[in-house]
Structure 1
Amino acid sequence: MRPGWTDVAVVRRDRTAPTGETTVVRLLGMLPTHWTCSPGAVGQDRVVLRVELGGGTDEAAVRLAFSRVLSDAALHGWTREA
């Protein structure tokens, strides 16, 4: 069975926070290293990452990891898109 993908969008809510180009690098560096992730779209105020599901990585694990990562001071001003 081929694994699926999930897209996670984050948006900048604080104009003093770094732009999307910096944020995507930080996100990729802070997510689990065994995940297959790629930027889907990167703008100044919005970033979409594609995360491969499968092998123990499901949507709940992705949500939890993004919650943890977005609570880091390096990503202050960014939040998941509703």
Structure 2
Amino acid sequence: MGKEHEERREKKNERKSKNEEARTKKRERRSENEEVRTKKRERRNENEETRWTKKEKNINYSNKFNPPGRNVLINIYYAFLGLT
């Protein structure tokens, strides 16, 4: 009886240690994944900011050559030419 009891106890302890090792591995993986996620999130935020500045630059660039109200000025100019 005593020998069987000891064997069962050893097996139980082995299972416990294996489970604990698996838990620690899972925790480590989770923390690594969380770090990767935060890096990706930061990168995404930076890209979002640069994308908006690029859009603003493009808008400013297009407004430089086609300012808003340009057609109105052209129409006034042609109307002035038509009157003279």
Do these two structures clear the TM 0.5 threshold for a shared fold by scoring above it?
A: no
Higher helix share: 2
TM-score (norm 2): 0.21
Structure with more contact order per residue of length (Cα contacts < 8 Å, sep ≥ 6): 1
Structure with the higher fraction of residues in strand conformation: 1
